[in-house]
């Protein structure tokens, strides 16, 4: 089992608050978003991490290497014009045997990972996705669940009235689903528009054959940071929980 972290993006929207480094280096309690992910990965018993980098890749790699984890790096040279599906496609050979997939701009509490693993194993499912039940807008990656919390559909373009909530960018995939996702990434690679799709498109493409379970996590247990407003909301969450971080200011 490896962890694959997608950290290639430029974070154009977050630049509005004066942050011009990769989003995974944003401050959070105890360090950065990347530090938080590394600690959680280690606590879940995973010792091998593949980091897909792009924008300012040397900064991200240097920040990662301070952690006592076995790293592999995959570089997305087209980070400015592609999206997470292309980054995942570049890392597909590392999916063999099962993998944990993380978006690098997500802060989360560490035991989310073990809950995903336990849910996938106890339900004999191919994978488990972290889901926050809430009303979603057009920007969130939405999920549809059946009565047993099996994921029926996933994607940004789903009808908001049909969705059960938001997939927050953390997924645990066993060996069979990992192989299916890797094949789906290859299948979709040459299709029109594939380079600007999100990786969840590949998940959606295998759901009919590979059972994935939606694991509900609390609204205070994870937050994806895409915009300055998201970062302010994260700071409010951390402070309300008696955690501390630094509110960055435009420089």
Would you list the DSSP string of 105-116? TEEE-THHHHHH
Residue 79 pLDDT: 96
Q: Whole-angstrom Cα distance, residue 192 to residue 184?
A: 15
Tokens for 89? 């496609």
How does pLDDT run across 62-80, given as a tens digit for each residue? 999 999 999 999 999 999 9
**Residue owning tokens 């959070």:** 28
Confirm whether pTM is higher than 0.85: yes
From CA 108, how far away is CA 88, in angstroms rounded?
Answer: 21
- Model confidence band, residue 193 (pLDDT cutoffs 50, 70, 90): confident
Token code pair at residue 91: 């890392």
What is the arithmetic mean of pLDDT over 96-103?
97
pLDDT in tens, 112-151: 999 999 999 988 889 999 999 999 998 999 999 999 999 9
Better-scored residue on pLDDT, 155 or 246 = 155
Fold classified for 2-240: Spore Coat Polysaccharide Biosynthesis Protein SpsA; Chain A (3.90.550)
Question: 12-44, pLDDT tens digit by residue?
Answer: 999 999 999 999 999 999 999 999 999 999 999
- The residue behind tokens 């008696």 is 242
Structure-token match 């990786």, residue found: 199
What's the pLDDT score for residue 135? Answer: 94
Concatenate the DSSP letters of all residues of 62-87 into one string: HHHTTSSSEEEEEE-TTTTT--HHHH
* C-alpha atoms less than 13 angstroms from C-alpha of 158 in its C-beta half-sphere: 25
Q: What's the pLDDT score for residue 243?
A: 65
Whether the pLDDT of residue 53 is over 80: the answer is yes
Q: What tokens appear for 135 in the block?
A: 């009303």
Helices 111-122 and 33-43: crossing angle in degrees, nearest 10, is: 40
Where do the domains of the chain lie? 2-240
Q: Which two tokens stand for residue 242?
A: 């008696």
pLDDT value of position 251: 32
């Amino acid at each position: 089992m490896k962890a694959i972290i997608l950290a290639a993006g430029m974070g154009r929207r977050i630049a509005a608050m004066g942050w011009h480094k990769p989003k995974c280096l944003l401050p959070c309690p105890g360090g950065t978003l990347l530090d938080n992910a590394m600690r959680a990965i280690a606590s879940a018993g995973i010792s091998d991490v593949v980091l897909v980098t792009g924008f300012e890749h040397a900064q991200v790699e240097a920040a990662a290497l301070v952690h006592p984890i076995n790293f592999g790096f995959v570089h997305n040279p087209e980070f400015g014009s592609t999206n997470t599906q292309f980054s995942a496609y570049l890392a597909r050979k590392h999916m063999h045997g099962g993998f944990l997939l993380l978006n690098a701009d997500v802060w989360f509490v560490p035991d989310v990972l073990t809950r995903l693993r336990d849910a996938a194993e106890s339900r004999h499912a191919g994978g488990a996705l972290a889901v926050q039940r809430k009303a979603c807008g057009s920007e969130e990656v939405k999920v549809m669940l059946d009565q047993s919390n099996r994921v029926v559909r996933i994607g940004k373009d789903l009808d908001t009235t049909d969705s059960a909530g938001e997939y927050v960018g953390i997924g645990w995939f066993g060996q069979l689903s990992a192989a299916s996702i890797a094949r789906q990434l290859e299948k979709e690679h040459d299709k029109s528009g594939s380079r600007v799709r999100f990786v969840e498109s590949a998940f959606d493409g295998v759901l009919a054959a590979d059972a994935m379970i939606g694991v509900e996590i609390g609204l205070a247990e994870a937050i994806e940071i895409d915009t300055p407003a998201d970062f302010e909301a994260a700071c409010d969450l951390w402070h309300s929980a008696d955690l501390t971080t630094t509110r960055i200011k435009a420089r």
